[in-house]
Structure 1
Amino acid sequence: MTYRIFKDKMAGSVMAALTLAAILLVVVMAMELCVKSAPILRHYSLWTLLTESQWKPMKGEFGFLPFLAGTFWCTVVAIVLALPVSLLMAVYLTEYARPQLRTYAYPLLDILAGLPSVIYGVWGSLLIVPWISHTVAPFADRQSSGYTVLAGGIVLGVMILPLLISLFMELFANVSQNLHEASTALGATRWQTVKHVVLRQSAPGMMAAIVLALSRTMGETIAVLMVCGNLIIIPNSLLDACYPIPALIANNYGEMLSVPMYESALMLAAFLLFILVVMMNIGSRIILKRFRS
């Protein structure tokens, strides 16, 4: 009995230590980024860095506004394109599709979710970019190379589709069968049951899934870098090029030692991305509490 109690306590201690280590890892990452960002914050105010649009490290100008705008545009386009498609596909696969179709759908979604981001980037460069350049831009009476916000949003939207579909399907499958039967017994159609029972019961989990997908899009690097154009401008339309924060870090990290304050500026960019993701997760927790109440 004593040995069993010892093993139980030891297992609890190990799990508590691992949990604490995971929490400390996030704190250490935040502290390290904050320390590395301190030099540039001592020379420039945060407001100036966030609102200026000039990025000329050789002249000591570090304006992050174009990169923040590029990140925002790509993220919004991706979620706007992916959310309705993933939601409808998840509803169909969960509520309408035959079991045989679901059997094949799950492995395919896992394959799509596991593909390296560079494959999505190559696909976007070969198909999406020429399509925008030769079809979408002329239709809008514009000239464009195709390396645009729209290309980045489409590629990111396709990347997060498997993630959102899998999460939504899991949420819908966990809705109590008794609720389905009660809704049907009251005369509701299948779509009415989905709309008023399944979606309402899954709303908190759906919000968490959307935030997880947003975090994925904000941090994506290679695929965005390959299709967005990487021009330091503030995009005014979907057919303008952009330069998201992850692409900035990936493109310039090797050059940071040759220019004063460059390293600190890039670390600040990473810190801003970290803060954005943390704020989104905190916001999702607040929304979840309101839903549950």
Structure 2
Amino acid sequence: MSAATANTAVLERLDPALTALVPLTLPAALPAGPLTVELVRRVDASLVSEPVETARVVRLARSDGSALELRLHETARTDAAILWIHGGGMFLGSARQDDTLCRSLSAALGATVVAVDYRLAPEHPHPAPLDDCYTALGWLARRYPSVVVAGASAGGGLAAGLALLARDRSGPAIAGLHLSYPMLDDRESPMITTELADTVVWNARLDALAWQAYLGGSPADQYAAPGRAADLSGLPPTVIDAGDLDLFVHEDVAFASALETAGVDVTLTVEAGAPHCFEFILPDTDRSRATLERKHAALAGLLDGGAAR
């Protein structure tokens, strides 16, 4: 999909202040036809600039001898911290690419943010990325009495899977979840219209490739695809954000409803005229600034609520 051939119905509903993001995103840059991980990675690399921020790096040894990298954006606060899980469809992105975002988040909240550089599919399919997030959670929980887990897109899906895994393993405790347009369900939703299947930023073509890479031919369980979970009871207070032009909006709304039914304290916001990841792609618009301020306030509430318990 190119900017010139993007779904007309989506473009008509898109907030005019956000139209500049369309040519900056993967669907606009990808050729027609079948996609491969290698092709998408090459195109993505051409769109992503290197961050200017730095972070303190901690490396944890995995059982196979490789190192799991954590990138720390630190403050003096000692009662609570955030574990950040980056997006990228499980096969793109890195903790380093989110240095600027995490540094900004740490400064806004006055709390340490630790980003986990989990292994990527398809070289490392499920459960390897989730195992890395669980290791990072354990490391952080040993240092802070209260940990909030936050993530965007694939990172939001991993955060939800991590909460289920921690619940079922009886720890480490998670004080709250903040999920931005999380990628939660490998099943094709009957609610996804032709319009949303061809939406901007992240569309059905990319999503199918991402799930194929992440699952590696194995069936999805609730930890890989939390939208499949039959029991969401016992999960921490959860904040979910999505846009009504986001491919994931229907699965996110369904997950929020299921959380509420299970007795979990959940807050859902669906923004009109908003596509996937808009506030990070165009952070300097008034719309993006307002969204980020609202998300910071929600995260601050989760941090303070967890620290008070």
TM range (shorter): under 0.3
Greater relative CO, 1 or 2 (CA 8 Å, sep 6+): 1
Q: Answer with 1 or 2: which has the greater Rg.
A: 1
Report the structure, 1 or 2, having the larger helix content. Answer: 1
So what's the TM-score if we normalise by structure 2? Answer: 0.21
Normalised TM-score (structure 1): 0.22
